[in-house]
Structure 1
Amino acid sequence: MSLPKILLSALALALSTSCQSNTNKKVNSSDNQPTAALVKPSQQDLDQYETAYFASGCFWCVEAIFESVKGVKEAVSGYAGGSEKNPTYEQVGAGLTGHAEAVKVYYDPKEISFTALVQVFFGSHDPTTLNRQGPDRGPQYRSIAFYENEKEKKIIESYIKALKDQKVYGNDTITTEVMPLDKFYKAEEYHQDYERKHPNNSYITNVSVPRLNRFKQNFQEYLKKEVH
């Protein structure tokens, strides 16, 4: 017995809106549109800034969100929180390494504080969904706020306590892990700036862009000024 067309359409949409199912090193030309040239800062330039690390679902979305924030000079997609050395996207996606998709955020503390970045992190995803964010499921999509020192750890834990005390999420449990950063592995080059490079990708249009737009609506005071 064949499935009704409406069920087939729903299944196709579900499959098309998964971070894993939309990745291909050989991206179809239909996934691309001409985009304005983007001058990326050199590593030497980035070394002068502070870093912060977060995981909150597909790193395509998370990278785009943080790069929209004033004071953020660059966001790099990668893997953190696991034990495997030099993990690949295929390994992480299969849940074989313990890593989560994460971003490394380079920021200027004169323009934005670590506390504000923590606020951006919690304000741009649902920290109450265990091992899931939107259509993406598995421990590789879990919520993690990493810290590099005790000061950052205290800021994260204090913010979580405030969210709980104010019942921001009602009676739902905040599942965000608070972890010391052990090692961050930069993801394969084709993942970097994925949202900007592939605006017609079905995951980008159905999941990533709406998530970014929701964040922008709620955090307008944190956004970089548009350059026209």
Structure 2
Amino acid sequence: MKSIYISLIAIAFFTLSCNSNTHSVKKSQFTEEQLSKYETAYFASGCFWCVEAIFESVKGVKEVVSGYAGGKAETANYQLVSAGRTDHAEAVKVYYDPKVVSYETLVKVFFVSHDPTTLNRQGPDAGRQYRSAIFYKNDSEKKTVDTYIAQLKKEQVFSGTITTEIAKYTAFYDAEDYHQDYELRNPNNPYIKGVSVPRLKRFQKKFPQLLKKDAH
């Protein structure tokens, strides 16, 4: 009986994980000229399907792209990353209007929308590719992150130790087309229904003031 139970758990775990086969869908893109008018920020906090959907619901965010950061260009592909065979994290590139939403607010969104105390794990997804990480571009961003983490520790917001990796941004590699806007385009996927949507809804319920009017 135990072996059967374990097998059932394994099947459920695989079904509800970010590492699953998907069909190819091309994402509609803004032009480079349109996006060049906005600032960018880089975050990783588990499966990028979830993270992309959360940041795209935030007022002032123009676009969010799923991708890979922290590793080398030649290893930036889903098969290698999802298997834990690179040093990449599943990450997102956030294009935002600083006149509407600040970098500090995006950092806040990052921390309140996942558990930064679970080392190399988020929900059902385990491995360094699912680590909590912020890739800062300059000293100003790093200072903002360090200050906010110090505040979280002082206020004892989390019972565990914050394990978020704070690393200098080097490069971001867009994920394959079918990963973009994945939650929106695949609402019936078991992982989306069981993990991504509940995570998004928890965030939206806590911070309705940060949401776009049309956030789902």
Q: Is TM-score (shorter-chain normalized) higher than 0.5?
A: yes
- Aligned residue for 1:145, secondary structure, equals strand
C-alpha contact (below 8 Å) 1:86/1:185 kept by paired residues: no
For the pair shown, the structure with the greater C-alpha radius of gyration is 1
- Aligned residue for 1:52, secondary structure, equals strand
Give the structure 2 partner of residue 19 of structure 1: 18
CA shift, 1:26, in A, is: 5.7
- Listed as ranges, the matches of 1:67-216 within 5 Å are 67-85=56-74, 87-170=76-159, 172-216=160-204
- Aligned residue for 1:125, secondary structure, equals coil
State the one-letter code of the partner of 2:70.
G
What residue ranges of structure 1 are gaps of 5+ in the alignment?
Answer: 28-37
CA shift, 1:11, in A, is: 3.8
Distance in 1 between residues matched to 2:87 and 2:10, nearest whole Å:
28
Distance in 2 between residues matched to 1:9 and 1:92, nearest whole Å:
25
CA shift, 1:208, in A, is: 0.4
CA shift, 1:40, in A, is: 4.4
Count the aligned residue pairs.
215
Q: TM-score, normalised by structure 1?
A: 0.88
CA shift, 1:13, in A, is: 2.2
- Aligned residue for 1:160, secondary structure, equals helix
- Aligned residue for 1:85, secondary structure, equals helix
CA shift, 1:45, in A, is: 0.4
CA shift, 1:98, in A, is: 0.2
CA shift, 1:151, in A, is: 0.1
Comparing 110-119 with 42-51, which one deviates more in the overlay? 42-51
- Aligned residue for 1:151, secondary structure, equals helix
Out of 184, 191, 206, the residue aligned to residue 218 of structure 1 is 206
Out of 61, 64, 73, the residue aligned to residue 53 of structure 2 is 64
Q: 1:84 to 1:43 in 2, by over 3 A?
A: closer
What residue ranges of structure 2 are gaps of 5+ in the alignment?
Answer: none
Give the structure 2 partner of residue 30 of structure 1: none
CA shift, 1:96, in A, is: 1.9
Q: 1:83 to 1:39 in 2, by over 3 A?
A: closer
Q: 1:123 to 1:2 in 2, by over 3 A?
A: closer
Q: TM-score, normalised by structure 2?
A: 0.93
CA shift, 1:227, in A, is: 7.7
Q: 1:162 to 1:10 in 2, by over 3 A?
A: same
Distance in 1 between residues matched to 2:29 and 2:102, nearest whole Å:
22
Cα RMSD after superposing both structures: 2.1
C-alpha contact (below 8 Å) 1:84/1:97 kept by paired residues: no
Q: 1:8 to 1:153 in 2, by over 3 A?
A: same
C-alpha contact (below 8 Å) 1:84/1:98 kept by paired residues: no
Q: 1:9 to 1:227 in 2, by over 3 A?
A: closer
- Aligned residue for 2:100, secondary structure, equals coil
User: CA deviation digits over 1:42-99, x for unaligned, max 9?
Assistant: 2210111000000000000000000000000000000001234351111111222200
